[in-house]
Amino acid sequence: FETVPGETWEFCWVCYQRPVDQRPVADATSPVLAQYDPLPLRAAIQGLLHECNGAAQPALMQEWTDLINAYVMRFAKPADQPDKLRLLWERVASNLAEEWTLSKLAKHAGYSNEHLRRLCRRQLGRSPMHQVTYMRMRKATELLVNTDLTVEAIAQQVGYHNPFVFSNAFTKWIGWRPSEYRRKKNFAHGKCCGATQTLPCN
């Protein structure tokens, strides 16, 4: 994604503190990509900030918070977003070593290949197999930074039987070879402590 020439982006964001056993509104394995008017959400956030910095009446702050949550839910849980797709990506995230194909993904989701492809393009901005690769690379960056596993072992865990194929795929996505990525991250953070890599969306 990129801005229109001569213009800049503004961001509205909401951070949820949720119990461990509660399902997130959206996560990295199944982000929401949709067209949405952000102005009402922006106004609600500004209203909450104004109240917090002013009279700070609990009842009014709760009203603003409820309104913000309602706007987030309307964006993050659109009526046409099927649960089957979310469950599919949860299954893939738990089984990255499996040999996923478009047909296998479609079968688990209960869709035809083409319907799954259309849904993923509309909701994630990428093809089903591109999403699988994204999830594998994201997991690989976590393992490289947070564990002492060999590159070969990490490749196996994220679905690559050939470490050279994994290394080439990783380099294409991240810009560094796995060993280089680990070395740079360890140097930057003084031996891995839970840092993660933000991957490109396309």
Residue 30 scores a pLDDT above 80: no
Q: Residue 196: inside a domain, yes or no?
A: no
Q: In this structure, are 103 and 51 located in the same domain?
A: no
Q: In this structure, are 26 and 53 located in the same domain?
A: yes
| Region of residue 125 (phi > 0: left; psi between -120 and 50: alpha; otherwise: beta) | left
Q: What is the CATH number of the domain that holds 95?
A: 1.10.10.60
Q: How many angstroms separate the CA atoms of 92 and 113, rounded?
A: 16
Q: In this structure, are 24 and 120 located in the same domain?
A: no
- pLDDT band at residue 28, thresholds of 50, 70 and 90? low
Q: Residue 10: inside a domain, yes or no?
A: yes
Residue 198 scores a pLDDT above 60: no
Q: How much is the mean pLDDT over the chain? A: 83
Q: Which is more confident, 27 or 84? A: 84
Q: In this structure, are 104 and 185 located in the same domain?
A: yes
Q: How many angstroms separate the CA atoms of 135 and 165, rounded?
A: 16
Q: In this structure, are 92 and 185 located in the same domain?
A: yes
Q: In this structure, are 94 and 25 located in the same domain?
A: no
Q: Which two tokens stand for residue 42?
A: 């922006």
* Claim: this prediction has a pTM higher than 0.85: no
Q: In this structure, are 18 and 92 located in the same domain?
A: no
Range of the domain at 161: 83-189
Q: Residue 133: inside a domain, yes or no?
A: yes
In the listed set 17, 52, 77, which residue is the last one of a domain according to the structure?
Answer: 77
- pLDDT band at residue 2, thresholds of 50, 70 and 90? low
First to last CA, the chain: 8
Q: What b/e string do you get for 37-74 counting C-beta neighbours within 10 Å, with b at 16 or more?
A: eeeebeebbebbeebeeeeeeeebeeebeebbeebbee
Q: In this structure, are 50 and 95 located in the same domain?
A: no
Q: In this structure, are 10 and 25 located in the same domain?
A: yes
Q: How many angstroms separate the CA atoms of 138 and 173, rounded?
A: 10
Q: Residue 109: inside a domain, yes or no?
A: yes
- pLDDT band at residue 26, thresholds of 50, 70 and 90? low
Q: Which is more confident, 122 or 89? A: 89
Interval 62-118: pLDDT, tens: 889 888 888 887 777 654 455 788 889 989 999 999 999 999 999 999 899 999 998
Tell me what pLDDT residue 148 has.
92
Tell me what pLDDT residue 153 has.
96
Tell me what pLDDT residue 76 has.
72
Instruction: Report CA dihedral (116, 133, 79, 24) to the nearest 10 degrees.
Output: 150
